[in-house]
């Protein structure tokens, strides 16, 4: 499809154009004048029911979106991520060390779905004692029903109201609660939607990207042994994983003005689906793109997005992926999946692996 029909129309979800090549995806993502990211046109292309929830940050155009990003940048900058690194390293080491004697674990449940949630709690400024409560509430809402979802929303709303009018504690939550954005003081309802989105964005994408990275390591014993023996390769491992197994599978745009894309005529109202994973395997940019390679060097992949909606949390996510892999491989350099293992993947806007049941040789116990 990428070679023969790089911009291809489908009747799915009411009709849209699927954009598959790296250059076309980057062009559309960077041009917010012709291609709209507004909530009613962006996420709704893929998952219609997410449109209202996504509006606060990721699916806005122009000044409102830029105002939010400017305010949040201080919490996601390289220095801010570096300040969180000791916490991430200590947490990762504690969890992995506890697992070592067991000789088996589900790496998704115990690591990938756990650590990023606790880090989100730290980012929000929650006291350390309350971060597990946040994690437990999110997990219950993720796998539970309507009652668990209401309990989760109620918990977050309680956190918001606790911080109304109080001095800034340095956390992201207190800052957005007490600082007007673009001259607008957000209501509790607006803040609730924003914080729920922020927790989802900071947790789900990192969780799924980490799970996919661990799946690559569990499948490729030679690669895992090489990286475990030389931790300096871990940054390359992380970046290649983000390219090779993009957590964000696709996002939407809507055409605002008459235009052409790779020879295909587009009219106002036409909807586009940007397939980031396909663009990240485009052979014009990534020779042998369907293979996982650590020797690619600095490449302009699309795993962090592109344009004004490029992932604002990329430095934090990149740091977490690196540190968790460092701590895991230092403590458990050899782990394997069952011979008959078939990964159960999650599909939609975000893709990942539901479970990674691995085993490893436990340390010898004293006689």
**Which CATH number belongs to the domain containing residue 170 in this structure?**
1.10.630.10
Q: Is residue 230 part of a domain?
A: yes
Question: Does residue 231 lie in a domain region?
Answer: yes
Does 62 map to a domain?
A: no
Contact (Cβ atoms closer than 8 angstroms) between residue 22 and residue 262: no
Q: What is the pLDDT of residues 252-292, one digit of tens each?
A: 999 999 999 999 999 999 999 999 999 999 999 999 999 99
Which range marks the domain in which residue 177 is found? 100-246+312-335
Q: What is the pLDDT of residues 12-46, one digit of tens each?
A: 888 999 999 999 999 999 998 999 887 544 444 44
Considering the domain boundaries, does residue 189 fall inside one?
yes
Mark 42-57 as b/e (b = at least 16 C-beta within 10 Å): bbbbbbeebbebbbbb
Contact 273, 45 (CB under 8 A): yes
- Is 363 domain-assigned? no
pTM value is 0.89
Residue 255 falls inside a structural domain: no
Residue range 196-225: mean pLDDT, rounded: 92
273 and 250 Cβ atoms separated by less than 8 Å = yes
Q: Which of 292, 307, 195, 213 is nearest to 251 (CA)?
A: 307
In a domain, 154, yes or no: yes
Q: Is the pLDDT of residue 192 over 50?
A: yes
Residue 113, domain member (yes or no): yes
Task: Please count the structural domains in the chain.
Answer: 1
Determine the Cα–Cα distance for residues 309 and 318; give it in Å rounded to an integer: 17
Residue 106 has pLDDT above 80, yes or no: yes
Average pLDDT over residues 227-255: 94
């Amino acid at each position: 499809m990428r070679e023969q029909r790089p911009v291809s129309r489908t009747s799915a979800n009411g009709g849209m154009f699927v954009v598959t090549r790296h250059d076309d995806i980057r062009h559309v993502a960077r041009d917010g004048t012709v291609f709209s990211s507004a909530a009613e046109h962006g996420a709704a292309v893929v998952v219609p029911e997410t449109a209202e929830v996504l509006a606060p940050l990721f699916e806005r155009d122009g000044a409102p979106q830029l105002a939010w990003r400017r305010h949040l940048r201080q919490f996601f900058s390289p220095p801010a991520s570096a300040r969180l690194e000791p916490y991430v390293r200590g947490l990762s080491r504690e969890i992995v060390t506890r697992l070592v004697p067991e000789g088996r674990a589900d790496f998704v449940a115990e690591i990938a779905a756990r650590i990023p949630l606790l880090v989100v709690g730290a980012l929000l400024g929650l006291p350390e004692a309350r971060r597990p409560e946040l994690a437990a509430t999110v997990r219950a809402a993720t796998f539970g029903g309507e009652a668990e979802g209401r309990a989760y929303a109620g918990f977050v709303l309680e956190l918001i109201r606790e911080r109304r009018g109080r001095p800034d504690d340095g956390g992201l939550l207190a800052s957005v609660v007490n600082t007007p954005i673009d001259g607008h003081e957000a209501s509790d309802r607006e803040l609730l939607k924003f914080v729920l989105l922020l927790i989802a964005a900071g947790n789900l994408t990192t969780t799924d990207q980490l799970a996919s990275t661990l799946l690559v390591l569990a499948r490729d014993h030679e690669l895992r042994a090489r990286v475990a023996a030389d931790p300096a390769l871990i940054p390359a491992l992380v970046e290649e994983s983000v390219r090779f197994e993009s957590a964000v599978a696709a996002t939407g745009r809507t055409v605002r003005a008459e235009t052409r894309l790779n020879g295909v005529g587009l009219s106002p109202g036409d909807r586009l689906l940007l397939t980031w994973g396909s663009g990240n395997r485009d052979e014009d940019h990534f020779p042998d793109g369907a293979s996982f390679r650590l020797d690619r060097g600095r490449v302009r992949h699309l795993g962090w997005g592109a344009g004004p909606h490029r992932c604002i949390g990329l430095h934090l996510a990149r740091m977490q992926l690196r540190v968790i892999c460092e701590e895991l491989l230092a403590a458990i350099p050899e782990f394997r999946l069952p011979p008959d293992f078939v990964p159960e993947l999650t599909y939609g806007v975000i893709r990942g692996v539901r479970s990674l049941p691995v085993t490893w040789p436990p340390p010898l116990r004293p006689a």
